[in-house]
Amino acid sequence: QVQLVESGGGLVQPGGSLRLSCAASGTIIGTYTMGWYRQAPGKQRELVAQITSGGSTNYADSVKDRFTISMDNAKKIVSLQMNSLNPENSAVYYCHTKPRLFSPSDGYWGQGTQVTVSS
C-alpha cells in the first residue's frame, strides 16, 4: 500500500509562486509515474503535470510555460514549482502515483492541498 502526503498549498498573490511537494510512503516496486492533478469548483479533475521514474515529463498546455515538475526518485518525493500564478490556477491539487506493478488500476491519490490565488 502506498500513501501520498501533499504539502505546500496555501494562499498566494497573483503573479506569485508556490511549490507543492508530495511524499510517497509504502512500497513502490519497479517503474512508476507521479503527477499532480487539480480540481476547481465546477470543473473536472485534470492532469497538471506528470513525471515518470525515468524522468519523462508531461504538462497540461495551460501550465507548460509556468509550472515545473520534478522528482527525487530515491526519496519518492515529487514537487511542482508553480510560477506566475493567476486566480484560474486556484484549485485543490492532488498528488497521484501509478506504479507499474502491484497497484490499483487508478493508482494512489493524496488527500489534496488547496491552492488559492487571490489578492
- Measured between alpha carbons, how far is 6 from 63 in angstroms, rounded to an integer? 19
φ, ψ of residue 88 in degrees (nearest 5): -70, -15
With a cut of 70, which residues of the chain have pLDDT below it?
none
**Strand duo 32-39 + 46-52: pairing:** antiparallel
| C-alpha span between 12 and 29 (Å, rounded) | 36
Q: What is the pLDDT of residues 11-26, one digit of tens each?
A: 999 999 999 999 999 9
How much is the pLDDT for 110? 98
pLDDT of residue 75: 85
The pLDDT value recorded for residue 92 is 98
Give the per-residue pLDDT at 29: 85
Can you give the pLDDT at residue 111? 97
